[in-house]
Structure 1
């Protein structure tokens, strides 16, 4: 695309997707959402298949509309799958490395730098102690966030 735009003399119209902070963050987030959507859909589909049909039949006999069945049966029984998706998204979002490293390398400047790219940069500059310390803090932060989220999310789940 770059060659084509340059050949016809419209290089001024070519956006700098990865050269500025906000477009770079947008592109990275879009790529990460695209990558993780398949996993989320499979987990939600598995959660939907576990819901017994008896609950829907009982709600229909009670006169519940489609919206009321969705709100009162589907969503509460799908909450474990939703919580797993949210927890995995938080974990993968915090430890994202490959997309950021391939697209921007943590730049422009340090605008898209993540814990993982920071650890790599410190390690590659022979600052092993700083790299290890950052990695330890990152792991503890990840465990604390995951544990806290799991603790609070259990309160909204119902049992079959």
Structure 2
């Protein structure tokens, strides 16, 4: 028994070493350097001044708000759209395999390529979207140049690109549901809508929880699409935490950018872990 216990303890050492070297140690080092003014030659300890600067500067603080808006809206839209797409794509339509490929296709395209493409589509004068709106009798907009619409334009682009993965997760969850539930409900006279509410929704909860967590964390960490489409502009309308950190680092404010990374990690952890715990508790009910 003792030998088995010693073996099992030593068995986890390689994993713990990797976890410590590549996660815990960098996290501790990052937290230390977030309290310094540093470059690649030296550093000066400044306490929590970097954090105070981050939250006192309106442009930096607004990035936190924009990140939360971005994460919540992209998560919610992907969840709703993907669920109903999955319901449609698990029905008895003949072309469902082809349609599944079409839905998943945007995820195969580079994010930068998607950003550049939608920048062209949303061009205020030459963009296809505004041209179609004008043909229908409407008035085109400067989607990415207007501070009131820029963030939401990027959000919709993100949803278009990422809804395919969420749909695949939902399809996998729905296909694992025992068909006898639906057969029994049909015999009892339940309509398709009643079956959706009573069977599909509750039994798809594990897939739903996965989509929520992945989409929310992905939204909190977003950078590439924002950078490709707006660069954080106009003004600070689409500035998110990751783009702020990048700009501060590029400007040579290494301590401030490191503090931004620590804040981003803390915000994601403080929101994602309770959210996951709540979703798992609901799943167990």
TM over 0.5: yes
TM-score, normalization by structure 2:
0.49
Tell me which of 245, 248, 265 is aligned to 1:119. 245
Tell me which of 56, 69, 73 is aligned to 2:199. 73
Q: Unmatched 5+ residue regions in structure 2? A: 1-119, 127-138
State the SS of the aligned residue for 2:190.
coil
| Aligned-partner Cα distance in 1 for 2:262–2:175 | 39
Number of the residue aligned with 1:21: 147
Once the two structures are superposed, what CA deviation does each residue of 1:31-70 show, in whole Å capped at 9, x if it has no partner?
1111111111111101111111122223234443322221
Number of the residue aligned with 2:165: 39
The aligned length equals 151
State the SS of the aligned residue for 1:22.
coil
TM-score, normalization by structure 1:
0.85
| Aligned-partner Cα distance in 2 for 1:158–1:57 | 25
Once the two structures are superposed, what CA deviation does each residue of 1:58-89 show, in whole Å capped at 9, x if it has no partner?
32344433222211111100011111111112
Q: Is contact 1:77-1:158 (8 Å) kept?
A: no
| Aligned-partner Cα distance in 1 for 2:141–2:188 | 57
Kindly state the Cα deviation for residue 144 of structure 1 after the two structures are TM-superposed: 1.9
| Aligned-partner Cα distance in 2 for 1:134–1:153 | 28
| Aligned-partner Cα distance in 2 for 1:27–1:130 | 29
Number of the residue aligned with 1:128: 254
Number of the residue aligned with 1:99: 225
| Aligned-partner Cα distance in 1 for 2:238–2:265 | 20
Kindly state the Cα deviation for residue 106 of structure 1 after the two structures are TM-superposed: 0.6
| Aligned-partner Cα distance in 2 for 1:73–1:16 | 44
* CA RMSD, 1 decimal: 2.0
| Aligned-partner Cα distance in 1 for 2:273–2:152 | 29
State the SS of the aligned residue for 2:151.
helix
Q: Unmatched 5+ residue regions in structure 1? A: 6-12
- The structure with the larger Rg is 2
Q: Which has the higher contact order (CA 8 A, sep 6+)?
A: 2
Q: Does residue 57 of the first structure (1) align with residue 183 of the second (2)?
A: yes
Kindly state the Cα deviation for residue 26 of structure 1 after the two structures are TM-superposed: 2.3
State the SS of the aligned residue for 1:108.
coil
